[in-house]
Amino acid sequence: MHLQTSPTSHFSNLHNNYRDLLYLIFTNKHNIKIMKEQNIFINQIGYATESQKFGYVRCHKDKEFYIKDEKNQIVYSGKLNAPKKDRVAAEDICTIDFSDFTQKGKFSVCVADDVSFPFEIGENLFSDLYYKTLRYFYLSRCGQKIEDKDFGHEPCHTGKALIYGTKEEIDVQGGWHDAGDYGRYIVAGTKTCMDLLLAYEAKSSFEKFDILDEVRFELEWMLQMQRPDGALYHKISCFKFCGFIEPQDEKEQIVLAPISTTATADFAGCAAYAHTFYKKSDPEFAQKLLDAAIKAQNFIDSNPDFIYTNPPEITTGGYGDRNITDEKYFALCSLYAATKDKKYLEKAIDLFQNYQEIPRDGTEPQKTEMFQGFGWGSVAAYGTEILLKNKELIDSNLYQTLKKAIIDRAEKLLKISENACFGTCIERVFWGSNGHVCDEAHLLLLAHDLTGKKEYFDVAKKQFDYILGCNPVNYCYVTGFGSNPTVNPHHRPSGALKKCMPGMLAGGPAAGLHDADAKKYLQGKSPLNCYIDVVGSYSTNEVAIYWNSPLVYVIVKLGLV
């Protein structure tokens, strides 16, 4: 057995029809779920009938696998693929391919005496996942009464915010609580809004949840975060993180952190793009967004860069960024698409063609190709996607250049996936790796839209399967779903109420071992195994709006709802 134990641990056996679970209780604070080592990894929710279907198994002397139904009858068999071993998983893993098995029902995969978690094959398997993942945003609203039988509460953080470095206070209400804490951050919120708007754009109809209304709630807050001169305050939070209390119980002074160019540019790009979604339903609001985006860009054009670092008195999340070129590029691309004013395009092209990477070792910046990313710290791909979606506004040479930038990255991701144990596209397993997995799936799905190349779609689907159980720790990383979900997220409402809010994507493995629990229990593990489901592990088990949002996008673009 592979157990994360302490000298004071005790165990109790729980039995069911597919595996034994062990629970470790210690210090009366954490429940660490400990399992008999599981050797088969599948998407714990299931697979659409006609989709590709991959599972994985630790290298086994037996080369055959079987699929059994609920009556324990063998309904399918096949051969295991040759094993692979990569750096991030660091073990021999064989692929189980049962894509041509299309029988609907509930099943398990078996290899010799090993049995997988149960899963389902059918249609509309992911609707509940989709809506719970979206409802998380509503439940994360700040400043208003939340209606929910489990996580409802009275309005929170309704006091005036102190402008850092002054004695002035202003009223700033709304926005989503960013992550496991109650701060609200512009760079995180803009990425989140972009993902949700792109998901909305990709789906012809929505029921049960109004995405545009939810995004508008965040945008209304962002408008309050803009100074009269166009600059955006970087974030609003208390001076320090609170304990695990409910949001309405955090009564400390809230403070507006200094402005930043990243926040201002991200807002300009997001607001300019968002305005098109509200032009028909509320043209006045749409124009307000566009005017604010232009004002933000004018501030950037006429002022030096403001690189954000936390003032010494503020210790909440920093979201600092050394290289702000990609944020400026995103803003200019979005403003050009919104206004058709070529001055924005000319500046965007200049940034694209003369991009410089800033080395981490402090050496001189080096000219290189602009990295096409969808993370909060690397947003260039949002700008590129906007221009590619507005093909008629750019000449054919620029279109081909931008398309090539996306395809080149997608091809690199394909090669990584081909050699990866679990089909993943990540080479560096850093803080928030699960969000990064979803962002890479986003890029692959964009490449699929541009080319129709099926391999891009298939590898994007493997990233989705990884999130839901095809990973070496055998977790479904979304709370409330799968046979073995995350149950102890670093999330203050869940911790305070001692119940887990469903539909939240855990941050996932982080090889850096940044928190005390990670250091205590994960030393010596391979990168993809550096995950622990305890409340205290903020670097592996926190949740965040900008990790949920690309998951929403991927579910939509894979055609699963």
pLDDT in tens, 381-417: 999 999 999 999 999 999 999 999 999 999 999 999 9
Which pLDDT value is given to residue 10? 26
Give percent of the chain above pLDDT 70.
93
Radius of gyration of the chain (CA): 24
> pLDDT digits over 499-544, tens only?
999 999 999 999 999 999 999 999 999 999 999 999 999 999 999 9
Which pLDDT value is given to residue 364? 80
Question: Sign of torsion, CA 54 55 61 64?
Answer: negative
Confidence of residue 6 (pLDDT cuts 50, 70, 90): very low
**Both structure tokens of 413:** 């991701």
In sequence order, the 6+-apart residues with CB closer than 8 A to the CB of 158 are 143, 173
> pLDDT digits over 432-475, tens only?
999 999 999 999 999 999 999 999 999 999 999 999 999 999 99
**Phi, psi angles (nearest 5°) of residue 447:** -60, -35
The pLDDT of residue 13 is above 60: no
DSSP string, 133-156: HHHHHHHTB-SS-B--TTT-B---
The pLDDT of residue 359 is above 90: no
Rounded distance between C-alpha atoms, residue 84 and residue 94, angstroms: 6
Task: State the Cα angle at 59 between 53 and 61, rounded to 5°.
Answer: 115
**201 pairs with which residues across the strands?**
none
Q: What is the mean pLDDT of residues 110-131?
A: 96
Residue 392 one-letter amino acid: E
SS3 (DSSP) at 490:
strand
Q: What is the mean pLDDT of residues 87-93?
A: 96
**Both structure tokens of 484:** 């073995």
Closest among 473, 460, 539, 482 to 507, alpha carbons compared: 539
Per-residue 3-state assignment (H helix, E strand, C coil) for 72-126: CCEEEEEECCCCECCCCCCCCEEEEECCCCCCCEEEEEEECCEECCCEEEECCCC
